[in-house]
């Protein structure tokens, strides 16, 4: 964008990033005149997106500093797991205002699941003390591949009935039925992405903002990875990037995966696989979360199987680390305790070239169960307040105010 063509959305981006936080700095950064900067800031103040603050004085009169107002709207987010879901209300700074966890079986299908989420949203907003009109968007985290542009889930192995389902449209219908009318700007924005992608985005922004190549591996009922490069999620051509759980292992042609293939990493080293092995050995275990409970209790078979699973995942991650050369490899999910971490580290440092691992940190999650929720909120906020989208929203608000 040419400097003299910067719209209000571009000014907002400069303010949010901290690159320019006074009128003078905005003029210098954009090349716009004082009056044009003033007009565009009036748009942002009129929408309630900015607030003023006193700047630091260097001896004269303090400059009026501009700040993004994180309290002018809220985001609703949901993190769907296989047998439960978490929903939360967050402000635009990522602060959780209210949160709820409840039973939700993803295999029951999208109609039932999305309707239940919408039923939770109203009471959650009431708990947070905010009205439905302040919701600027909804973010949804799911355990399957997602075509991000269409918000449709693509051939998910552990989500029967969800393939190509119109999630965005159905969630809007459920919202209208259980919560309230759509916002004045138009249809309620709904964004959907894979859980590992959103967890990676949240963890990278929160704990490793200077890491330009970041990989997160979620090992729970299934296995998936999220990749963040230069602060942005890398999704691939149609949302399939990071689906490492379905890389096939050469020595396990007997292991049947949920996707219908044999020998997949997830069929050998996931929480579902460990649960099945524990049950067969006389330790009843229904899911990856049950495996986590066994690990927390130090159950010997669970500890042994988790370490072996880490080694098998490590075999695949040697290639991932060699290809991407990340600064941080983070392990998350139900299995990501010490035994699994030890197994992963053993294989990576044994088999990857020392040059590849010289500056690699292998760590565990910092945000824990909230990572996907925080990442879903960040996804919504990043998109809605990006320069072009912000300009379109400001135009819609102006038309609404003028009765157009």
d(CA 224, CA 371): 15
Domains 3-68 and 208-367 share a fold: no
d(CA 307, CA 26): 54
For 175-202, give one letter per residue: b (16+ CB within 10 A) or e.
beeebbeebebeebbbbbbbbbbbbbbb
State residue 318's pLDDT score. Answer: 97
Please give the radius of gyration of the chain, using alpha carbons only, rounded to the nearest integer: 23
Predicted TM-score (pTM) of the model is 0.92
The pair of three-digit structure tokens given for residue 101, joined into one six-digit string: 């966890």
Pair 35, 60: CB distance under 8 Å: no
Helix (H, G, I), strand (E, B) or coil at 307: helix
Topology of domain 74-196+371-401 in CATH is: Nucleotidyltransferase; domain 5 (3.30.420)
Instruction: Give the CATH class of 3-68.
Output: mainly alpha
Pair 217, 203: CB distance under 8 Å: no
The pair of three-digit structure tokens given for residue 388, joined into one six-digit string: 């072009």
> C-alpha 403: how far from its chain's center?
36
Closest Cα partner for 114 from 74, 159, 156? 159
The pair of three-digit structure tokens given for residue 30, joined into one six-digit string: 């954009």
Per DSSP, what are the bridge partners of residue 96?
90
State residue 125's pLDDT score. Answer: 95
Pair 184, 400: CB distance under 8 Å: yes
Q: Which mean pLDDT values do the consecutive 10-residue runs of the chain (404 residues) have? A: 73 94 94 94 94 59 81 95 93 95 94 95 95 94 92 90 95 90 76 97 96 96 95 92 94 91 94 95 91 95 96 96 96 93 96 94 94 96 95 87 68
- Region of residue 152 (left: phi > 0; alpha: psi -120 to 50; beta: else): beta
208-367 in CATH: which number? 3.30.420.40
Sketch the domain layout of the chain as residue ranges: 3-68, 74-196+371-401, 208-367
The pair of three-digit structure tokens given for residue 369, joined into one six-digit string: 């169960």
């Amino acid at each position: 964008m040419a400097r003299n063509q910067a719209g209000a959305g571009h000014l907002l981006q400069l303010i949010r990033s901290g690159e320019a936080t006074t009128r003078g700095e905005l003029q210098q950064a954009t090349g716009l005149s004082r009056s044009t900067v003033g007009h565009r800031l009036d748009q942002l103040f009129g929408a309630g997106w900015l607030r003023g603050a006193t700047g630091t004085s260097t001896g004269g009169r303090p400059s009026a500093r501009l700040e993004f107002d994180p309290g002018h709207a809220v985001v609703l987010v949901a993190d769907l797991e296989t047998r439960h879901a978490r929903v939360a209300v967050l402000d635009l700074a990522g602060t959780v205002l209210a949160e709820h966890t409840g039973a939700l079986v993803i295999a029951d299908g999208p109609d039932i699941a999305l309707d239940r989420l919408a039923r939770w949203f109203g009471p959650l907003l009431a708990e947070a003390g905010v009205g439905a009109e302040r919701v600027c968007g909804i973010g949804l985290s799911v355990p399957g591949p997602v075509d991000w542009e269409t918000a449709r889930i693509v051939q998910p192995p552990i989500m029967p009935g969800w393939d190509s389902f119109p999630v965005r449209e159905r969630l809007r219908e459920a919202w209208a039925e259980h919560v309230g009318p759509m916002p004045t700007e138009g249809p309620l924005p709904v964004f959907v992405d894979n859980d590992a992608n959103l967890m990676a985005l949240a963890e990278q922004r929160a704990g490793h903002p200077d890491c330009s190549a970041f990989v997160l591996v979620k090992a729970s009922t299934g296995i998936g990875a999220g990749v963040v490069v230069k602060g942005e999620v890398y999704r691939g051509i149609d949302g399939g990037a990071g689906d490492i759980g379905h890389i096939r292992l050469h020595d396990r042609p007997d292991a049947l995966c949920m996707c219908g293939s044999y020998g997949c990493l997830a069929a050998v080293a996931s929480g579902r696989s460990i649960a099945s092995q524990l049950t067969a050995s006389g330790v009843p275990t229904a899911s990856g979360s049950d495996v986590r409970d066994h690990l927390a209790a130090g159950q010997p078979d669970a500890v042994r199987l988790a370490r072996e699973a880490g080694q098998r995942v490590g075999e695949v991650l040697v290639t991932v680390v060699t290809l991407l050369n990340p600064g941080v490899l983070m392990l998350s999910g139900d299995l990501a305790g010490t035994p699994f971490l030890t197994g992963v580290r053993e294989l990576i440092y044994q088999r990857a070239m020392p040059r590849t691992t010289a500056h690699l940190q292998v760590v565990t999650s910092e945000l824990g169960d909230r990572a996907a929720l925080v990442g879903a909120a960040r996804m919504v906020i990043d998109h809605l307040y990006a320069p072009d989208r912000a300009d379109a929203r400001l135009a819609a608000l102006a038309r609404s105010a003028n009765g157009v």
